[in-house]
Structures are given as structure tokens and as C-alpha cells.
Structure 1
Amino acid sequence: MLLTTMKNLQCGLPIANVKPNRMPSQQCADLANAVKNMQMVTIPGTRMVASKFILGTASLHSVGGRKDRHALLEAAIDHGFTHFDTAPYYGFGWAERDLAQVLKRHPRASVTTKVGIYSPGSETQPFSAMILRKAGGKLLPALSKPTISFSLQRAKQALESSLARLERDHIELYMLHEPELDMLNTDEWLGWLQKMVTSGKVGNFGLALTADKLEPFLKQAPELASVVQVLDSLDGKEADILGRYGKPMQITYGYLSAALASGDTTAVPEILAKALERNTQGAIIVSTKKISRLAQYQQLAGNAQ
């Protein structure tokens, strides 16, 4: 659903999970300027409102120093992005920390983070140690290999740690990160996630994964697939699996990386324009290391309205 007007929201803006207290007038003005040219959508099946393009942060650590990373995130806000996708594994915890600084300045922006894939050496290591570990992992893969665990006990600790790194008391979208059905007790997970929604720590929950891992959940544990973030491509059309189970596309990603991997030389704007034609109702994750790319994303999302 495309939001053309939203009334009775703070600052008059269609930003997710608005709290009852008003923002300072300058923040209202800044956000108004930011969102005016970016299409806003309500993620199907939820009340969560997000920018049509979501900024992914998996490669944020490679942008440069802290000032450069924060400048990219601030520029994303300026170009209409209101939702960010992250995970404890991204930058081994540093993506969440970097987002914290921007989210504090723009409290109406929202975030997805994930659970189940953890960083080698923990998410508390210094930034320099993370960079060395990632570089060393190119020669010795074990150095940068993640830990995968869908233990509910570890998940409970991970949620609190993500909240601490993000410096927030609420996560708009909490996703199981690349789970396989036989890795977890689905009833226990569903019960816990529902409790986290009731507690206010989590707004919505779901699965972030590939189509092959998704289908068993759609067949046997559809309640955990309340929100689905699925890898999709223009050639493979992997997200079409959702339609076979009566679900709309909610959040999709991977269009540019799939084109690159296949040797497709189609220009980025054309690829994303076709992606927007595929996922008309939901949101699409994009990423970049260059501030200059953000204006292109903003224009594409604006033209899609």
C-alpha cells in the first residue's frame, strides 16, 4: 500500500512506530525534507511503514572511518531512507553501533536487525580487530567464519545485546537470520517472539533467508514467516514462491548482486526499475558505499510512485 497521506502522525510524516511525544521542530523539518521524494510503503501484513528502498549495512564497515560511515548513514536519511537493515554479524557488531548514532539523531527512523548468525570473536571486539579478522579470513576462512546458533537462550542474550548496541529499547523488525527449519524448535521460538512483541521490545518478526530455506517454513511453520525478507533476482524470480503460498512480497533484496554474478551488464537504474516492477507492494533492500549513489536511489523510488 502506497502512503499518499498519513494524518495524526507526529510531524505529519509517515514514519514507523511513532511515539506520543512530539519531535523538536527542526527534526520534523529535516525529516519532512528527507521523505518528500521517497515513496513510502506499509509492509504488507504489518502496520510498519518504511521507505521503498531500505539501506542495507552489511558492507558499511568497508566504507572507511567512523566519520565516513556516519556521513553515509546521514546522507541516506537526507535522501529519504527511513529504514535500515542490519545484523549482529554485519561488521561484527559495528554496523549496529554506527546506526545507533544516526538513530539517536533521527528517532523516527526504523531498523531491522537479526538473530542466529554471530560474529567470530564476538560483537565486542575493537573495530581494528574486526578489520584484521576479515582480512585474515581471505587466507584462513576460519578467522572470519560466523557462528550459527538458533538456541533460544542465546537468542535472548542476542536481543538484549542488539538493543544495547543500537541504544534503543525497541526494534521495529526482528528477523531470524538464514534459519533452516530443523535448526530450531518453532513452537518455542514463536512463543518467545510473540512475548517480545507484547513486551514492546520487538514490533514485528519474521525470516530473512533464501527461497530454498523459506519453503519448509511456509509449509510447516507459517506463523514464523509473519514477515519475509527473501533473496530475489530478475532472472531467477525466487520470490515468486511467496505467491504460491498466498503471500505478497514484503521485503526483497539481491537484485544487483545477482546481476553482477551472472555477468549482466544492464545499468543499475534499469535493474532496480525492474525490481520495483516486481515488488510493487513491499520494500527493497539496496546498499552502497558511495553517497553519490543515494540520489539515484531516491529518484528511482520517487519515480515509482
Structure 2
Amino acid sequence: MIDYLRDNVDADLTRFVREVPNRADFLLTSQILPPVSVQSPLYKVKTADITISTAKMWVHNTPAPYSNIDTARSVTKGNFPLLGGKQAVEEFELIFQNIAAGGNQLQLENAVYDNVKNQATAIWARLELAAGSLLATRKVEISENGFIQTIAFDKVAGKTIEDNIAANWTGANAKPLSDEQGWVRELRKTGAPKPGIALASSELIAKMCAAKEYVSQVYGGANAPTVIAPTQLNEIRARWGLAPLVEYDTQVYVDGVATRILPADRLILLPDMTFETVGETQFGLTADALMMTTGGNPALDAVEAPGIVSTKLVEQDPPTVITRTVAAALPVLSNPGHFVTAKIA
């Protein structure tokens, strides 16, 4: 029997794995759609679109008129997909040989903790990929390991900018500055806040830097430079009231293949995050966590249940230790009509 790992190691693993930092370049799941805990196995998004008309004036000694406040409420909910996986401790035979020869179990514990750290990073990577799909298409399409579902977040009719925004920013006639100003005007007409951040790939930023409309804001004349620097680009944008550009080229590996989170041809205009978020990354309840909160001596308090959970599995045939790290989680949109997704050729 393999008993070199303490009985309560699962609670320690779970607390450890929740402290594993999200990757610095995973901007979507750390800031744009920040993580929140949900005490449920279901994701749930409540939206309330409220239109408040000005108050009415009336004469003394007459009844007050009714306020003209229109509210459209909706609730989107469904089962969280499970994500994560399990992995055997590498070189277990060599580690176990050292323990059997009188060595301590620290090497085995270190190997277990290294496993769960990598598994937590893999979970965040999958969520970042889903968040990219959500911002690019307002939906997450899942077809993995028997889970087949399209999770879409509809916008309020009549109070949203169209989805199929497209523009060509290649060539002498490119108008990236004018195009974006027009999109922002249309967005503001819907009641959405002014964009405070613009996500773009380095490829798209290079197109803007070479666009004559932007270059002419800095240089003129026959022998003028044909491109400007990205810093100059943001200076021009600030002058015209456009959101600062944030370069986003993050990639993850999907089945060993490097895959972009956001397509290189997308411009995403989002509200200022200090004013409003367009959604969040919800972490719900797993059976693993619920089992750890029950019994005479629960390893986790009920309030700690939502989130990533790591456990160890001991196999006898062949003898090995397996780490299992799982989460019930999904990025969701609470304000799907308050941002712009533009496809740029």
C-alpha cells in the first residue's frame, strides 16, 4: 500500500492550486472577464436593461405622474462544463525506490505539487481560449469529450451595435480612424459606455501605424515617413477620444498546436474596466469540492467549495500516484451589447 502522502494532502493541494497565479498574458480571464465564485453547479447571468426617462414636472395639488422607466430583464443559466484532467507522477519508480531505501517523501510531494501547478495552468489556458471565443463571437462552442454545446449570449434588441462589423485597412484608401469613430458613435447610441480599452494584435496595430489617415496626423509633405510608431498611434487616438490600444497576441497550445486566443484580424472595443465589465469568469461547484466539505471533519468550508480542486489518486496496478485537478467554470457575458467586435482585412 502506498501511504507516503498524508491523508489530508487533498485539502492542501486544493489550497495550493488556487494560489497558482494566472499567466501574466491571460488578460481576458484576469481583468476583462474577472474570476468570481458561484455557489452552484450552474452558471447564471442576470441582465437588466433599464431605460430611465427624465422625471416629469406637474402643478401643485395634482397627482404625481408615473415614472417612465422601462426594464427588460433576462436570466441565462446552464450546467457548467467540467475542465481539467489527471496525470501520473513522472519517474514514480525512481522516486519510490528512494523512499523505500529510507529517503523521505519530500521528492514525491514536490512531484505531486509540480503536477497540480501545471494542471491549474492548463485550466486557465482553456478558460482564456473560451473567453477569446466569447469576445470574438459572443458565444462559446464546446465539442470535447462528449460535451457538445453552444453557449450564446444574446444582446438586447434595438439597443446594440451590429455583429457583422468589417473594414479594410490595407491600401491607400484605408480609413481606420474614421471607421472606429463611426463605430463608437453607433455604440454610444445604444446606451453603452464609451470604450476605455481596445484589444488588437500586433499585426493589426502595424496596419494602423501604416495607414495614411493616421500617418497624416503626424507627418506631411512629399518626403514624409510612411509609418508612425505605436506610441504615436495612441497619442493620436487620445487626441480624437479613442480608447488606448492594448496589444494582445496571446497563444495557448491546443492538443500540441499553438493557437491564438483572439483572431489576429479582430479589434475589440471594451468599456473602461473601472467603470463596467462586460462579463466574468464564473467558478462553480464540483462533486470533488462538495465531498471535501462534508463528513465529520471536512477538509474545506462550504464557502471555499467553488473553484479549482486538486486531489491525489493512488493506483496499485501498476503502483503509481496520479494527480487530478478539475474545475466547473465558464466565462460569461453580462453586458453582451456593450462592446464592439470588428473584423479587419
Q: TM-score scaled to structure 1, two decimals?
A: 0.25
Higher Cα Rg: structure 1 or 2? 2
Q: TM-score scaled to structure 2, two decimals?
A: 0.23
Bigger RCO (CA 8 Å, 6+ sep): 2
More strand as a share of residues:
2
More helix as a share of residues:
1
